[in-house]
Amino acid sequence: MPSKILIIGACGQIGSELTTKLREIHGTENVIASDINTRKLDLVNSGPFEIIDAKNFNAIKDCCKNHNIDTVYLMAALLSATGEKYPMEAWDLNMNSLFHVLNLAKGGNIKRVYWPSSIAVFGPTTPREDTPQHTICEPTTVYGITKQVGERWCEYYYKKYGVDVRSIRYPGIISHKAMPGGGTTDYAVEIYHEAIKKGTYECFLSEDTSLPMMFMDDAIKATIDLMEAPGENLTIRSSYNLSAISFTPKEIYESIKAQMPDFKISYKPDFRQAIADSWPSSIDDSVARQEWNWQHSFDLDAMTAEMLRALKKKYHAS
Ligand code: SER
């Protein structure tokens, strides 16, 4: 029997590319995409799609029952910057959607759950360089609090009820298909779009703010590798540290400028600077590398080459 997969939040930045990849692997008809609305029409038209509000337990339950779902990827979330504007909404969406999926899995029909955590679980008291897997986590954003608490609940459901839940602490994810929505690391996507569209970019973080980042292809590969790993190899049921590259706005600017010599940047830090300052600048992901052979492929310049190639095609074609 092929796996039947439900992706909640399939129209988002990561959800949309994850849906495409999972459909390639498992067959389009075995991967049900869902989101609260139909904002990504190509996804809606390219295979099974259901409108699901991730806060609605019955909607998730009915969809799982109707499609015999055995694996759920819960990708819906309010991110760090939006979470600071709407704290109660972030808490409501990020926590209740997780409880709904964990409780359904506890009931036995869902065999495996993927839920993303984030570098936002760390805070100003966390060691900033090479942040270890097990360390101080005192997040200062609502988003970080929801992810930290969610990690505790994932581990609890695994230990107490045997729910096979797996998770990664994503760094900032950079991609050229769907835009990210409301994160602090979004500048590293916007900068490529603005470089192509306008040749200038005003960055909302200061030039020397170093953050952990990753190209989308690596993030999708990590997600699928973790979900396919033998359960007995996995010692972490809260969430795995994961890392690829770390860079500052100045370094990504220089990487783009090497290919676009006229590109200009200016800096105007806003409220997101304080969020970035509370997060690590680099992550120790040796546990993920040992337990499920995680390896990244893209460094900064390889990512820049791919981003500029894809975005030039996109904007110059339209
Ligand atoms: N990209 C996220 C954010 O900036 C971090 O996980 O909120």
Model confidence pLDDT, tens digit, residues 54-104: 999 999 999 999 999 999 999 999 999 999 999 999 999 999 999 999 999
* 318 has pLDDT over 60: no
Same domain, 222 and 79: yes
The CATH number covering residue 312 comes to 3.90.25
Q: Which of 34-38, 89-93, 158-162, 212-216 has the lowest mean pLDDT?
A: 34-38
Same domain, 9 and 123: yes
What pLDDT, on the 0 to 100 scale, is given for residue 44? Answer: 84
Quickly state the pLDDT bin for 1 (edges 50, 70, 90): confident
Same domain, 109 and 12: yes
Question: Cα separation of 110 and 37, whole Å?
Answer: 24
The residues lining ligand 1, judged by C-beta closer than 6 Å to any ligand atom, are 79-80, 118-120, 143, 170, 172, 183-185
Same domain, 85 and 123: yes
Q: Which residue minimizes the CA distance to atom 1 of ligand 1?
A: 172
Catalytic-labelled residue, pool 73, 86, 114, 143: 143
Q: Which residue minimizes the CA distance to atom 3 of ligand 1?
A: 183
Whether 291 is covered by a domain: the verdict is: no
* 41 has pLDDT over 80: no
In ligand 1, the atom with minimum distance to the C-alpha of 170 is 6
In ligand 1, the atom with minimum distance to the C-alpha of 147 is 6
Tens-place pLDDT, residues 209-241: 999 999 999 999 999 999 999 999 999 999 999
Give the predicted TM-score (pTM) of the model.
0.97
Same domain, 179 and 312: yes
What pLDDT, on the 0 to 100 scale, is given for residue 2? Answer: 77
What pLDDT, on the 0 to 100 scale, is given for residue 71? Answer: 98
Same domain, 96 and 134: yes
* 30 has pLDDT over 80: yes
Domains in the chain, number: 2
Residue 2 Cα to ligand 1 midpoint, Å, equals: 33
Same domain, 19 and 46: yes
Of 79, 117, 204, 209, best ligand 1 pocket probe by most atoms within 8 Å of the beta carbon = 79
The verdict on whether 143 is a catalytic residue reads yes
Tens-place pLDDT, residues 284-311: 999 999 999 999 999 999 999 999 999 9
Residue 183 Cα to ligand 1 midpoint, Å, equals: 4
Same domain, 22 and 157: yes
